[in-house]
Structures are given as structure tokens and as C-alpha cells.
Amino acid sequence: MTISLARGIPAPECLPVEELADCAREAIGRDGHTILSYGSTLGYAPLREWIAERHGVDPGRVVVTNGSLQAFHFVLALLDEGRVIVERPTYDRPRAIMQAEGREFSEVGIDSDGLDVDELEDVFAAGERPALLYTIPTFQNPGGVTLSEDRRRRLARFAQEQSLPVLEDDPYGLVRFEGEAPPSLFELEGGEVVMYGSSFSKTVAPGLRVGYAIVPRDLASRLEPLAASTYITPALVAEATLYEFLRRGLFEANVKRVCGLLRERRDAMLEALESELGGRAVWSHPEGGYFLWLELPEEVDARELLEESSKAGVTFVPGADFGGASNTLRLAFSYVSPDEIVEGVRRLAQLVPASPAAVELG
């Protein structure tokens, strides 16, 4: 059977199936006349309030969408003309969305401390005025790296000085296995130019399709007609089901449980990489999230390797799909079991040549 180290989805046991079934029944029973009808375009009001309170903002700034990727679509649609800056590498879906919509973007590198803020400053020094910085500062997809606190402070200051709109995409921040969580860019900057996006996909269940963005009030007002013309009303049954889950106080315990399950998988992957690929490749060491980034000897082409590895029964995503170099790849530890991870890494390692990798990442 093929082992997928490609899929960035939660292991089935991460999903709180019974609890959500019960919450759905309760939500419809209690508030069915509201949530089974058309309703608030910007999301189920009690959920917006819960999110607003958690982030210390006015509920009018919270836009609940059908997954956080949709929030990216909306923000992009209302953006001024101009280029978007993304990380290199970055999440492939925003790249594909921008390519499809003809929005130009350029890339700024990351290292083991996250976005290279010097390189970003160079872009401005060269006279460019981008319309947006899209960044995933915590447990980045695909790199698995986290922006250091020092760089967060610098970036927040720089964005403010330059009035650079930033979308901080943070679906993985709570999926932390160890270490102190640094403050978000949004908190550090005060939420004036930094917008914050997150989701319940990784902390509760992606099938709920509940994500959100915190944006300036005037942008929320401009977003409303766009959301209405896209879907009239978002999926209120899912939002109310999630709200019931939150209201019952099940969220924190679920996040803890999910972190335990994913930590085991991250540990299994790091140990397997050390024993199977030590000295032949380098990889990031994420303290949370779903992914790590692997850099192979320069002569290896990850797309060709994927063809071979698929035949050998293991898959991954080539780094080039995220804008990365041809000898890099993303491994997801979120989905398969720890034993399958060990076997998957073993199968992969058998196909990697013996020469040492040159560059250090994290």
C-alpha cells in the first residue's frame, strides 16, 4: 500500500467525530430556525463574537469564511493594484490562485528563523511598493519553520513604517508540541496594517470548513457584498456546530489531544530521518504543525524522485511545487501512523544517493 507523506490532512483519529455529531444535533435543535436559513453574510454571530473576544477585537472586524483559503481569495480580490510578496517556498494554493488571477507575485527567502527580513527590506530599498505581504510565520507550510521573535518585531515595525498590508496566515499556531509560542505579528503590530487569518481545520476538523480573517473594519464592510455575491451566506450549520463545540469548552482539550497525536508522528519522522538519511540530507525540525522540509544532495531532482518513490510505495510533494529548489521536498507527518512514517522514510531513503547535502536548514 502506498504511504502518503504528501497529504497535509489530519490523521483520522484527530477528528472529534462523536463530539461534533452531538454538537451538530444540539446546534440545530437550539438555533435551527437561524442556521438552517440564510443569515449573516460575515458568519454566525456567536462565533464571530467568540473569535473577536479571543483576539481582543471588535466583532465587526471578524469575517468567518468557508475555510481560511477563502479569506485569502477575498482579501486578494479587494487589494490595490500591485505585486504580492510571498515566502520562498510558500503554500502552493495561494501561488496557484494568484497565477490563475493574473496577480503578479515575487518571493522573499526563508531560513530556519523564517522570512528573511533583510531581503524584504532590500525589495523596498530597490523602490518597489508591493500591495501585500502574505506570510505564514508559524510552522510554515511547507518549510515547517517559525519566524523568530526578533524578526517578528522587526517585521511588524517595518510593515507599520511602510504601511505595508500584511496577511498573517496562521492555521498551525496552536498545533504546538513544545516551546514557547511567540506573539503573532498581528498582536505586535496592533492589527492596523497586519490582517490575521486562521482556521479550525487543524485544531478541530477541516471538513467543517470554518476559517476566518480579522481585517480593518472598512475592509470587512467591503468584503460583505463580495461574500454575499459568492455564497449569499456561509455554512452556518457548520459554524454553529463548531460554536457549540467551543461553548462546551471542548476546544482546548481537543487541541491538546491533537498535539499529542501529531507530536508522536513528528518524532517518528525525525528519528527515521536521522537513522535513514543522516549525513545524506538536511531537514527542518518543527516544534509543531504538519510538515517538515527536506533538502537532498544537489544532483537529486525531487520530481524525478517522486516518480520512482511512487513505484516504491511512498509519496511526498516536490519542493518546486512551492517555489523551492529542485532538490527539496515537503514531508507531511500529519496523516499516516508513526509506523507508516518510519516505513515511508525507509522506502524514500533507499532511493536517495549517498553524497552529503551541502546546505543547512534549521
What are the residues binding ligand PLP (CB under 6 A)? 8, 67-69, 91, 136, 141, 169, 171, 199, 201, 206, 211
Q: Which is nearer to ligand PLP, 169 or 189 (CB)?
A: 169
Q: What is the closest distance, in whole angstroms, from the C-beta atom of residue 290 to ligand PLP in the complex?
A: 7
Q: Using CB atoms, what's the residue nearest to ligand PLP? A: 67
* Measured CA angle at 25 (ends 23, 28), to 5 deg: 105
Q: Which is nearer to ligand PLP, 65 or 309 (CB)?
A: 65
Q: Which is nearer to ligand PLP, 206 or 347 (CB)?
A: 206
Question: Residues 346, 272: contact at Cβ < 8 Å?
Answer: yes
Cα dihedral 31, 35, 36, 37 sign: positive
Q: What is the closest distance, in whole angstroms, from the C-beta atom of residue 199 to ligand PLP in the complex?
A: 3
Classified as helix, coil or strand, 301 is coil
Compute the distance between CA of residue 334 and CA of residue 137 in angstroms, rounded to an integer.
19
Q: Which is nearer to ligand PLP, 300 or 322 (CB)?
A: 322
Compute the distance between CA of residue 52 and CA of residue 73 in angstroms, rounded to an integer.
21
b/e sequence 218-246, b meaning 16+ C-beta within 10 Å: ebbeebeeebeebeebbbbbbbbbbbbbb
Q: Which of 138, 158, 157 is nearest to 148 (CA)?
A: 138
Q: What is the closest distance, in whole angstroms, from the C-beta atom of residue 15 to ligand PLP in the complex?
A: 13
Q: What is the closest distance, in whole angstroms, from the C-beta atom of residue 224 to ligand PLP in the complex?
A: 20
Q: Which is nearer to ligand PLP, 110 or 342 (CB)?
A: 110
Q: What is the closest distance, in whole angstroms, from the C-beta atom of residue 29 to ligand PLP in the complex?
A: 27
Question: Residues 44, 212: contact at Cβ < 8 Å?
Answer: no
Residues sharing a CB contact under 8 Å with residue 50, sequence separation 6 or more, in sequence order: 243, 246, 247
Q: Which is nearer to ligand PLP, 91 or 105 (CB)?
A: 91
Q: Which is nearer to ligand PLP, 68 or 309 (CB)?
A: 68
Q: Which is nearer to ligand PLP, 91 or 283 (CB)?
A: 91
Q: Which is nearer to ligand PLP, 146 or 199 (CB)?
A: 199
DSSP string, 81-116: SS-EEEEES--HHHHHHHHHHT--EEEEEEETTEE-
Residues sharing a CB contact under 8 Å with residue 281, sequence separation 6 or more, in sequence order: 273, 294, 295, 296, 297, 352, 357
Q: What is the closest distance, in whole angstroms, from the C-beta atom of residue 6 to ligand PLP in the complex?
A: 12
Q: Which of 98, 114, 227, 214 is nearest to 166 (CA)?
A: 214
Q: What is the closest distance, in whole angstroms, from the C-beta atom of residue 84 to ligand PLP in the complex?
A: 15
Element containing residue 132 per DSSP (H, E) = strand 132-135
Question: How many CA atoms lie within 13 Å of 58's alpha carbon, on the beta-carbon side?
Answer: 9
Q: Which is nearer to ligand PLP, 67 or 324 (CB)?
A: 67
Compute the distance between CA of residue 137 and CA of residue 146 in angstroms, rounded to an integer.
5
Q: What is the closest distance, in whole angstroms, from the C-beta atom of residue 198 to ligand PLP in the complex?
A: 8
Q: What is the closest distance, in whole angstroms, from the C-beta atom of residue 201 to ligand PLP in the complex?
A: 3
Q: What is the closest distance, in whole angstroms, from the C-beta atom of residue 360 to ligand PLP in the complex?
A: 24
CA distances from 173 to 49, 160, 224, 238 (A): 20, 22, 27, 22
